[in-house]
Amino acid sequence: MKKGLSYVVFTLVLLSSPVLAQVIFIRGDANQDLRVDLSDSIFVNNYLFRGGEKPRCMDAADANDDGEVDLSDGIYLNNYLFLGSGKAPPPPYPEPGIDPTQDDLDCG
**pLDDT tens digits, 45-100:** 999 999 999 999 999 999 999 999 999 999 999 999 999 877 999 999 999 999 99
The sign of the dihedral angle between the CA atoms of 51, 99, 16, 31 is positive
Q: Of 46, 44, 45, whose CA–CA distance to 58 is shortest?
A: 44
pLDDT, position 21: 54
Cα–Cα distance between 32 and 87 in angstroms, integer? 21
pLDDT, position 35: 97
Mark out the alpha helices in 1-108 (DSSP H runs).
2-16, 38-49, 58-61, 71-78
Residue 42 has pLDDT above 80, yes or no: yes
pLDDT, position 14: 47
pLDDT, position 13: 45
> Ramachandran region of residue 98, left (φ > 0), alpha (ψ -120 to 50) or beta?
beta
